[in-house]
Structure 1
Amino acid sequence: MQQTAHKVVVIGHRNPDTDSICSAIAYAELKNKTSDLVCEARRAGKMNQETEFVLKKFGVTPPRMCTDVNPKIRDVDYRQIPGIPGSTSLRKAWEIMRDQKIDTLAVTSEEDELQGVITVKDIATANMDLFDTGILAKSRTSYRNILETLGATMVVGSEDAVCTTGHIRIGTATPEMLESSMEKGDIVILTNRYESQLCAIEKEASLIIICNGAKVGRTIQHIAAETGVAIMSAPCDTYAAAKLISQCAPISYYMTRDNIIKFTLVSPVADVTRVMAKVRHRYFPILDADGKYCGMISRRNIINLRKRRIILVDHNEATQAVEGFDQAEILEIIDHHRIGSLETSGPVYFRNQPVGCTATIVTQMYDENGVTIPQKTAGLLLAAILSDTLVFRSPTCTPIDVNAANRLAKIAGVDINEFANEMFEAGEKLDGKTAEEVFLQDFKVFMCGDIRFGVAQGSYMTRKNLTAAEALLKPYLEEARNKQNVEDIYMLLTDVPKEESVVICNGRYAAEVLSDGFETQPAADASWTLPGVVSRKKQFIPALMTAYQEL
């Protein structure tokens, strides 16, 4: 059975800011209204306080976390073949394998808990063990299995009984020979010969199987019932019955119980492929999030893997993209940053405009498609524009951003200045937050040649909060640099009203790069004050890139 198509993930960069989250939500909504795709907004990291405030204000549920889009088993068209109970006969299991064209079945409980696996090799091995005449007793084979396998009917006794004693005997010879070979509790396969049937009863057989569909006399039935001997009538001859009788045993006796190689729906395909390459099995059971069996997977299923489909918003840098993006199918990129290092395996729809915010582009796309922007969505898009342009103070801000924000404010029913103050105040609160949490609120990694560096930014409406953030973050920078595996690391603390930024840094080249890039020297506390610098994208990063290239 084919799996239903996975939703297209619309997602922003790691350590998402308000634009990254809100643009993803709004664009997923637009795609669902204007295309055949089923899109879902996701986030590639923890939301910051500013974004949490915005979503709460407009009553929007936060997107689910998605930190890895590497293909998982859930992305593969695995076989949704039901598990079978351990009481199933070998014959029935083989018939299922034959009909389903599969050589391995999962053995499960009524609650779909995996108990073992049975393979066609296990069944073949069981059928070749011709001399184990006590197999039905050893495996506690149910009478129901025997009836089903032989196509027999119960004449005397209960269908619910189980074989617990005795060996299988073929009583085609004389009653005298049967009497000398039989033991109490044996299972005897007979024809319609009255004397042999009576002999088997007198020797206290546990079960008599009478072949060729022969009728069982009332006297025999009466004597058998009195002595506790069960009788079945089978339509096949004694040869067929003898061939089939061992196939009545339950698969639980032969199945593999321990060290079963199994996977979950979220197992990475790369890991599964490595395991499959080391073993000779063809099929492997899959468990869901609750540990319940849900299907089987083979190497052929892996070959037919469907890649995750994603749409990237607010970034096009490989260092900022969600883990596994290179193993996914990128459908679109909607962004307003410089063209970065991200590569795709094929052509994609790539929209990149020199505006202050991705949300501005998304707003344009609503208009271009003739889709009315809902009030909540307008609020999200407005928040993203105000956040990215620092309420129109950033040099990245364009008249397009301003016009879009004014129109969105009317739709959302909010005052821009009041809303912006509330949003920024919510975002700059440090109460109960660790240095790492503050630092990662808006952190991005960049590459210049072989040098990998990271830049975090925080925007503050009051100098008091900015100074408090600086004191909290300065001791943490070295740890952050090691954790993020970058050569240099920078923290851009932006004073929104004063339209300037205070920079603290750590790393091999950081101090030299800041001095060269901005032609200034640090203050006594080893921080740099950069008047007029409020945009990481348009002012800070270009200066760093130039300085790194001149190293």
Structure 2
Amino acid sequence: MKNDEIYVIGHKKPDSDSIVSAIAYAYLLNQCEKKAVAGRLGDINEETAYLLDRFGYEEPVLIEDARVRLSEIELKQADHILPDTTIFEAKEIMNQNQARILGVLDQDQKLLGVVTRSDLALLGMGDTALGIDLLKETPIELMAKTIEGKIIYKADEHHVNGKVSIIALCKTKLERYEIQDRIVIIGDDPQGQKESIEKGAGILIAVWTDHIEEDVLKAAREHNCSIIISGIGSMNTSRYLYFSIPVKLIMQKKITYFKEDEFVEDVMIKMRDTTFNTYPVLDKKDCLIGYVSRYHIMNAQNKNIIMVDHNEFSQSVNGIEKANLLEVIDHHRIHNFSTLSPIAFRNEIIGSTASIITSMFFERHIEIPENLAGLLLGAIISDGLNFQSPTTTKKDTELAQQLAMISHEDADALAYKMFSITMNLPKNISKEELIQRIEADMKTFDMKGSKVLISQVFILDLSSVRSIKEKVQEILEEMTIKYNGDLVIVAFTSIKKKGSILYGAGSKENLLWQTFGKKNVFVKDLLSRKKQIVPDLTQTFNKFS
């Protein structure tokens, strides 16, 4: 995630107005040279899926939290090495990539450990005993590769104590050396080479030569001494031998790492308890994806958010209170809303947020593409029940007419197709499917300290509802426990009959019937949750609760 990227999101349990408004406003912002991404806070419903498919749009990206995760910030690239990589090779990779840390991975890309510049420095500047111990465990193949040499003879049994001796071309010098099991570096001196082998050298490294005499090879076979011809001089050979050690012998195995789905703010707290500067980051399969440093954490910020079709934090993305909230565009009541700094806030008495977004296109003289116009038209039809809802205004109707002209769509034909897809409620509907229908458009409200959940399900035929009323009541009772609600309501709204049947459960159920009359009866002209159910019920709670 870039720090200038903006997420435009609707509410939880998104409806068509919520999804379409996010898509349309993100498009508008991008035309104004902003970097905006449309987001959603849950699965889309059948109606919205139909609209997106009809007009050629993908679902917005799922946003699960306003706080930023490690997977959403810029990380250092995942430079890595294998366990048998030499220290010399690791040093070269670090220098080339300006890296301070390298992950050591197995064949499945799983993290075994890490090697840092400090680890390499410790080998060069620390106690020589460390290098001696490590050379004992270093394969001869790695030694030969690091000193640009070739193995002339490899003994069947490896007997090396890790100590290194450089033998000058002088017999007396050789006599003074204890070279049993040592790595002996010697020049083009066949006699000295042979004597070194006979005195018990573990590995003989010949410098300044490209040939080993046959009698020297014979002695090597008899005394089980490996022979390497080095491609560099004696001094560099002695230096580079210690760089031939495989990183698996020096890597840190007990490491602090983070997972990609961890929140940056949580990582920051964990970093306070450690002394490292850079840490590996693993994905869900425990594979290395990069490194995070204190610098990355200090410069990361939570998501830039624009809320559309809602303004209550309870209906918004998790962690919204920690987001960098930039703007709100909505047509609902304003409730318990506050920010730390000023923001743009547009709230209109109008039938849908899609209508507000459409107005903003015209206000800014930005052309609406034909397919986007059709999408916006569908959202206005959906939220205003094809202009039958009491929330519908003259402005909604006028904007819809303009969108219909741009998109070359017939509003009534589009409405019929949309509603026929989503408003069928089979009499033999399963409990699980009915729960899904009820929860699909359920919103939570705070009414005088009481938690009230209200769902609205649009249908064509009311008779199908009466045949499942016992099942509906059972589900609502269960939902009061599931959501810890004081009142759970579902309104089955018939476009054809222009009214709703209400069902409710919970400790505050009596306030529902005080507001709308007898229990489970048809209420004529009750079509809007926003403009009728919520304000009327809120008034009752304020009076009697």
Residue matched to 2:384: 389
One-letter amino acid of the counterpart of residue 481, structure 2: N
Deviation of residue 456 (structure 1)?
1.0
Deviation of residue 247 (structure 1)?
3.6
User: Which 5+ residue runs of structure 2 have no aligned equivalent?
Assistant: 221-225
One-letter amino acid of the counterpart of residue 252, structure 2: T
Residue matched to 1:358: 353
Q: Which of 244, 249, 255 is the matching residue for 1:253?
A: 249
Residue matched to 2:528: 535
CA contact (8 A) 2:352 2:383 kept: yes
Map residues 439-454 of structure 1 onto 2, 5 A cutoff.
439-454=438-453
Map residues 20-99 of structure 1 onto 2, 5 A cutoff.
20-32=18-30, 34-93=31-90
Q: Which moved more, 1:430-439 or 1:189-198?
A: 189-198
Deviations 1:215-271 (A, max 9, x none): 3385x556556646212154463xx765653343111112234x5433333222233
Residue matched to 1:479: 478
Q: Which of 538, 541, 544 is the matching residue for 1:548?
A: 541
Deviation of residue 391 (structure 1)?
1.5
One-letter amino acid of the counterpart of residue 502, structure 1: I
Which whole-Å CA distance do the structure 1 matches of 2:114 and 2:167 have between them? 37
Which whole-Å CA distance do the structure 2 matches of 1:120 and 1:372 have between them? 56
Matched, 1:107 2:107: no
Map residues 512-527 of structure 1 onto 2, 5 A cutoff.
512=511, 514-518=512-516, 520=517, 522-523=518-519, 527=520
Deviations 1:477-524 (A, max 9, x none): 122223333322211222223322221112222322x24434x3x33x
Which whole-Å CA distance do the structure 2 matches of 1:204 and 1:495 have between them? 98
Residue matched to 2:343: 348
Matched, 1:327 2:322: yes
CA RMSD of aligned residues (A): 3.3
Which whole-Å CA distance do the structure 2 matches of 1:468 and 1:6 have between them? 53
Which whole-Å CA distance do the structure 1 matches of 2:228 and 2:64 have between them? 63
CA contact (8 A) 2:193 2:216 kept: no
Residue matched to 1:19: 17
Q: Which of 10, 25, 36 is the matching residue for 2:8?
A: 10
One-letter amino acid of the counterpart of residue 276, structure 1: M
Map residues 366-381 of structure 1 onto 2, 5 A cutoff.
366-381=361-376
Task: Note closer, same or farther for the CA distance 1:250–1:470 as it changes in structure 2 (3 Å cut).
Answer: same
One-letter amino acid of the counterpart of residue 534, structure 1: L
Matched, 1:292 2:287: yes
Task: Note closer, same or farther for the CA distance 1:110–1:495 as it changes in structure 2 (3 Å cut).
Answer: same
Matched, 1:232 2:230: yes
Which whole-Å CA distance do the structure 1 matches of 2:315 and 2:157 have between them? 65
CA contact (8 A) 2:180 2:202 kept: no
Task: Note closer, same or farther for the CA distance 1:469–1:352 as it changes in structure 2 (3 Å cut).
Answer: farther
Q: Which of 171, 174, 187 is the matching residue for 2:183?
A: 187
Matched, 1:116 2:113: yes
Deviation of residue 175 (structure 1)?
4.5
Deviations 1:17-39 (A, max 9, x none): 1111122122222222x222232
Residue matched to 2:260: 265
One-letter amino acid of the counterpart of residue 548, structure 1: F
Which whole-Å CA distance do the structure 2 matches of 1:87 and 1:371 have between them? 60
Residue matched to 1:166: 160
**SS of aligned partner of 1:284:** strand
Which whole-Å CA distance do the structure 1 matches of 2:56 and 2:210 have between them? 80
CA contact (8 A) 1:175 1:199 kept: no
Task: Note closer, same or farther for the CA distance 1:216–1:155 as it changes in structure 2 (3 Å cut).
Answer: farther
CA contact (8 A) 1:77 1:304 kept: no
Deviation of residue 537 (structure 1)?
1.0
Deviation of residue 351 (structure 1)?
1.9
Residue matched to 2:405: 410
Residue matched to 2:223: none
Q: Which moved more, 1:123-132 or 1:405-414?
A: 123-132
Deviation of residue 548 (structure 1)?
1.9
Which whole-Å CA distance do the structure 1 matches of 2:355 and 2:121 have between them? 67
Deviation of residue 401 (structure 1)?
0.5
Deviation of residue 47 (structure 1)?
1.6
Which whole-Å CA distance do the structure 2 matches of 1:119 and 1:309 have between them? 35
One-letter amino acid of the counterpart of residue 517, structure 1: T
Which whole-Å CA distance do the structure 1 matches of 2:61 and 2:531 have between them? 30
Instruction: Give the paired residue count.
Output: 529
One-letter amino acid of the counterpart of residue 507, structure 1: G
Which whole-Å CA distance do the structure 1 matches of 2:234 and 2:110 have between them? 37
CA contact (8 A) 1:224 1:231 kept: no
One-letter amino acid of the counterpart of residue 272, structure 2: A
Map residues 451-462 of structure 1 onto 2, 5 A cutoff.
451-462=450-461
Residue matched to 1:275: 270
Task: Note closer, same or farther for the CA distance 1:511–1:176 as it changes in structure 2 (3 Å cut).
Answer: farther
Task: Note closer, same or farther for the CA distance 1:479–1:299 as it changes in structure 2 (3 Å cut).
Answer: farther
User: Which 5+ residue runs of structure 1 have no aligned equivalent?
Assistant: none
Which whole-Å CA distance do the structure 1 matches of 2:231 and 2:97 have between them? 31
CA contact (8 A) 2:186 2:234 kept: no
Task: Note closer, same or farther for the CA distance 1:256–1:393 as it changes in structure 2 (3 Å cut).
Answer: same
Which whole-Å CA distance do the structure 2 matches of 1:298 and 1:252 have between them? 23
Task: Note closer, same or farther for the CA distance 1:398–1:161 as it changes in structure 2 (3 Å cut).
Answer: farther
Residue matched to 1:199: 195
Which whole-Å CA distance do the structure 1 matches of 2:14 and 2:501 have between them? 22
